[in-house]
């Protein structure tokens, strides 16, 4: 069988635009004389549609669009993901995450998703029912076993511990499937593609089945979908690998003999840079913006965000503003100017000092008999936030925030100050990883000035301030945070590994007590298996760790 995979980039809720993409991909498949054209999970509505699913008008529009798409089909098959309903069922939501097979002008077959995930960023149990049956369909002398994303992540031979008692793929195998088709919208995190490869290689070699694994590409708010669709032959050999982080059109012929593909994931730095660039580009363009604004401090975080924005949008669409005070070092301005020159971007320099002085004067009576503390530091940050939001409003810039995961985890950021913005670009990248990525960017030539990379990090809100005055060294801090957040180790386990119970207690307390800040933060582009956002849900008011 000759099968085309349309690894395309949908927009959530844009039913008309997504329908046109499906029809365009189908037409291209027909022109290439394929037997079957395959699109990813929920492509017609975009993934994840969240509470749009609850709108009857939305679901009706999807049904009409699906029928319109089917009416355009000929004898070439078309599979795409959408939402379907069973109004005759009186139990549950009656709503399904479904794969539709169309040909000869009709929707011929519908397979609902069986395994409905409800962990990390997934909340499909909120909306969808599980398939009551798993069926195969004969099509052009092959028996297709169609599944949806999570359905293929429960192979008993691969996983030591399975999330679900059912294995839909085993049912498809037992019912005589000769080709597996899995349509997927699986969010990216570093290392996940390699895990998918190993799992699917095991499955296809054990079951002696061809597999077409159609992946979504693009970013939907904080979730990034990396593409990289797979095709395996029935010996467990990967035959085709789609482009990473961009749209692609692949054709797999089951009778052909392909060279085996073994390299499926690049370095951490290369993958994360590519993911964040796609995240910025799609967020900006899908929200209707063209230009972005970054507050450039002279530090490594804002330098990295600025570089990524230029790669995503072009230098003509990135504007930066320096906002010095009396505490800003001369080097911070010079280093920022050097970065501006290297990237060829527009900039301006607006001091916060006059406004800061007036503000302190206005508050003099209210602050009487109170010593200087973090309040004055936060005022500076909030003045910068005021400037940034004013420029954003006036020039229709989308403001990018520059805080890293280490800062966001420990609350080392100011609400309505440096947290102002629409998108947290590196909020899922630890400080040590920021340095790692910056050095990777500079491997061939200096783009981010070495002075920025080498100097001790500082918020520059008081004389001679350094981050390590308030936080442990970042290499130690990040190790504790990774153990707590990504690996979900308990306090005593982390203390044994680190060898400093007092320090561990302090860091974990900072994480837990600063949930109120994260609830008000901009969406964070997700590149790890556990990012802040709706993939990690903790109460603000709680008595677990005070």
Tokens at 232, concatenated: 């395996």
Judge contact between 456 and 468, C-beta under 8 A: yes
Would residue 460 show up in a list of annotated catalytic residues for this protein? no
**What Å distances lie between residue 453 and 156, 304, 337, 447, 456, CA to CA?**
47, 10, 15, 11, 8
Where do the DSSP E strands lie in 208-270?
Answer: 210-215, 217-220, 223-226, 230-232, 238-241, 248-253
The residue annotated as part of the active site, out of 19, 113, 405, 530, is 113
Q: β-strands 346-349, 95-103: how paired?
A: unpaired
Whole-angstrom distance, CA of residue 514 vs CA of residue 105: 55
Count of alpha carbons within 13 Å of 149, Cβ hemisphere only? Answer: 28
Would residue 41 show up in a list of annotated catalytic residues for this protein? yes
The residue annotated as part of the active site, out of 41, 265, 407, 460, is 41
Would residue 67 show up in a list of annotated catalytic residues for this protein? no
Work out the burial of residue 160: count CB atoms within 10 Å of its CB; fewer than 13 is exposed, 13-18 middle, 19 or more buried.
exposed
Work out the burial of residue 16: count CB atoms within 10 Å of its CB; fewer than 13 is exposed, 13-18 middle, 19 or more buried.
exposed
Whole-angstrom distance, CA of residue 79 vs CA of residue 26: 10
Phi-psi label, residue 245: left if phi above 0, alpha if psi -120 to 50, beta otherwise: left
The residue annotated as part of the active site, out of 6, 45, 102, 149, is 149
Q: CB under 8 Å, gap of 24 or more: what pairs does 202-208 form?
A: 202/155, 202/157, 202/158, 202/236, 203/152, 203/155, 203/157, 203/158, 203/169, 203/236, 204/180, 204/232, 204/233, 204/234, 204/235, 204/236, 205/235, 205/236, 206/157, 206/236, 207/169, 207/173, 208/234, 208/235
Question: Which stretch of DSSP H or E encloses residue 205?
Answer: helix 192-207
Residues annotated catalytic, as ranges: 41, 113, 149
């Amino acid at each position: 069988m000759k099968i085309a995979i349309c690894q395309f980039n949908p927009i959530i809720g844009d039913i008309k635009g997504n329908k046109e993409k499906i029809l365009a991909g189908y037409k291209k498949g027909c022109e290439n004389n394929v037997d079957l054209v395959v699109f990813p999970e929920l492509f017609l509505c975009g993934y994840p549609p969240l509470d749009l699913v609850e709108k009857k008008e939305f679901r009706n529009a999807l049904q009409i669009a699906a029928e319109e798409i089917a009416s355009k089909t000929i004898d070439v098959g078309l599979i795409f993901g959408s939402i379907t309903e069973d109004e005759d069922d009186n139990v549950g939501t009656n709503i399904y995450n479904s794969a539709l097979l169309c040909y000869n002008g009709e929707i011929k077959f519908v397979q609902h998703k069986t395994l409905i995930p409800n962990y990390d960023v997934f909340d499909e149990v909120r909306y969808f029912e599980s398939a009551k049956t798993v069926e195969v369909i004969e099509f052009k002398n092959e028996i297709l076993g169609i599944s949806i994303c999570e359905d293929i992540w429960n192979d008993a031979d691969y996983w030591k511990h399975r999330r679900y008692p059912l294995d839909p793929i085993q049912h498809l195998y037992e019912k005589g499937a000769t080709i597996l088709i899995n349509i997927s919208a699986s969010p990216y995190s570093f290392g996940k593609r390699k895990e998918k490869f190993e799992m699917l290689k095991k499955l296809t070699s054990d079951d002696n089945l061809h597999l077409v694994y159609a992946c979504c590409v693009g970013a939907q708010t904080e979730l990034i979908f990396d593409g990289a669709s797979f095709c395996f032959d029935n010996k467990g050999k990967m035959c085709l690998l789609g482009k990473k982080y961009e749209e692609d059109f692949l054709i797999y012929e089951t009778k052909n003999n392909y060279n085996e593909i073994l390299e499926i994931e690049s370095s951490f730095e290369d993958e994360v840079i590519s993911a964040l660039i796609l995240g910025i580009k799609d967020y900006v363009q899908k929200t209707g913006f063209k230009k972005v604004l970054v507050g450039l401090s002279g530090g490594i975080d804002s330098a990295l965000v600025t570089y990524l924005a230029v790669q995503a949008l072009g230098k003509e669409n990135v504007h930066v503003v320096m906002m010095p005070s009396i505490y800003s070092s001369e080097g911070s301005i010079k280093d920022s100017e050097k970065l501006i020159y290297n990237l060829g971007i527009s900039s301006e320099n607006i001091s916060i000092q006059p406004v800061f002085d007036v503000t302190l004067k206005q508050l003099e009576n209210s602050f009487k008999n109170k010593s200087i503390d973090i309040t004055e530091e936060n005022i500076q940050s909030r003045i910068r936030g005021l400037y940034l939001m004013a420029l954003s409003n006036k020039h229709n810039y989308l403001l990018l925030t520059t805080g890293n995961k280490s800062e966001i985890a420990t609350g080392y950021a100011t609400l309505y100050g440096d947290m102002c913005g629409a998108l947290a670009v590196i909020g899922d990248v630890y400080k040590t990883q920021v340095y790692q990525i910056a050095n990777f960017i500079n491997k061939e030539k200096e783009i981010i000035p070495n002075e920025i990379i080498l100097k001790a990090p500082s918020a520059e809100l008081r004389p001679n301030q350094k981050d390590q005055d308030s936080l442990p060294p970042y290499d130690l801090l990040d190790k504790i945070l990774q153990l707590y957040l990504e690996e979900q180790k308990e306090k005593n386990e982390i203390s044994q590994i680190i060898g400093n119970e007092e320090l561990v207690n302090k860091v974990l307390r900072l994480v837990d007590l600063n949930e109120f800040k994260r609830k008000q933060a901009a969406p964070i582009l997700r590149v790890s298996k556990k990012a802040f956002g709706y993939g990690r849900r903790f109460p603000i008011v709680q008595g677990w760790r005070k």
